[in-house]
């Protein structure tokens, strides 16, 4: 059966190591790992609050979640620059792609400095909050959730979180992407113990991938519009790809809404 307390304790160790690694060298791989780890811990905390009834868990979780959001935003700015830089490889033949690549390199360096500052500011605070939660959760180390309970909690949380969203609006489509990612991480808490939970996580992940590909190009298009002339061939090509991926994202959104 899924054991959310055990998962959280393991994730806490992973987060501490990820912070230490980024402070040494904020490589693209390490930044991505840090960002995804903050999301996974946030999802596990959400699961513990929703399903376990452990005393004080909600009150103790909120400060840590605030710190995680700060880290996620800082790491996200670096990650976005890394992803956009990689996406530009498809547009190498356009005359002004080099200019955009140089701009993104500068953006990445600036965002990396801010991330390092944030990590230095928050590292000890996060470790303290993790230690406090570990002390509260350790007595419940053997807590088990059934696969059916995990699936029910995940689907209920997802349905409530997307209520009122209109995927025809880009901002709501982006919110749906983030929500599906959290739902995936919730379901993955039981991926080793429940085939049904693993299948649900895979469905969220598939939709999240399509939504993510669109959003990555959407952000790249915004950067191109900001930094390149209006008649840029690079903008034109990115625009075409973004529109194509938007159609796929719409289909993924429809699938997500169908299983909510």
Dump pLDDT digits (tens) for 118-128: 999 999 999 99
Res. 204: pLDDT tops 80: yes
Which pLDDT band, with edges at 50, 70 and 90, does 186 fall under? very high
Please tell me the predicted confidence (pLDDT) of residue 256: 87
Q: 96: Cβ–Cβ under 8 A, 6 or more apart, which residues?
A: 228, 229, 232, 233, 234
Q: Which position has the token pair 């501490």?
A: 16
User: What is the chain's mean pLDDT, rounded?
Assistant: 92
Taking CA atoms, 200 is separated from 102, 144, 195, 249, in Å, by: 41, 19, 9, 19
Report the SS3 class of residue 54.
coil
Mean pLDDT in residue range 226-255: 94
Is residue 2 predicted with pLDDT exceeding 80? no
Query: Tokens standing for 230?
Result: 């209006």
For 240, what's the count of Cα atoms within 13 Å in the CB-facing half-sphere?
A: 7
Integer Cα distance of 255 and 155 in angstroms: 14
Q: Is the pLDDT of residue 237 over 70?
A: yes
Q: Which residues contact 46 (CB under 8 A, 6 or more apart)?
A: 157, 182, 186
Please tell me the pTM assigned to this model: 0.91
Can you give the pLDDT at residue 1? Answer: 56
């Amino acid at each position: 059966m899924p054991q959310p307390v055990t998962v959280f304790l393991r994730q806490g160790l992973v987060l501490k190591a990820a912070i230490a690694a980024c402070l040494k060298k904020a490589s693209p791989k390490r930044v991505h790992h840090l960002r995804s780890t903050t999301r996974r811990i946030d999802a596990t905390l959400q699961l513990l609050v929703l399903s376990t009834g452990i005393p004080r868990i909600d009150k103790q979780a909120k400060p840590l979640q605030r710190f995680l959001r700060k880290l996620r935003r800082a790491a996200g700015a670096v990650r976005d620059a890394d992803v956009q830089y990689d996406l530009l490889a498809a547009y190498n033949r356009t005359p002004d792609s080099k200019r955009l690549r140089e701009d993104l390199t500068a953006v990445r360096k600036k965002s990396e400095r801010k991330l390092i500052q944030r990590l230095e500011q928050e590292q000890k605070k996060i470790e303290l909050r993790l230690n406090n939660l570990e002390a509260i959760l350790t007595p419940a180390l053997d807590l088990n959730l059934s696969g059916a309970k995990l699936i029910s909690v995940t689907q209920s949380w997802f349905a409530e979180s997307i209520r009122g969203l209109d995927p025809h609006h880009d901002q709501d489509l982006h919110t749906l992407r983030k929500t599906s990612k959290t739902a995936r991480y919730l379901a993955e808490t039981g991926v080793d113990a429940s085939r049904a939970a693993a299948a649900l996580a895979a469905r969220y992940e598939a939709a999240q991938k399509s939504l993510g590909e669109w959003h990555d190009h959407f952000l790249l298009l915004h950067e191109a519009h900001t930094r390149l002339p209006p008649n840029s061939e690079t903008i034109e090509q990115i625009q075409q790809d973004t529109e194509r991926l938007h159609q796929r994202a719409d289909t993924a959104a429809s699938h997500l809404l169908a299983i909510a």
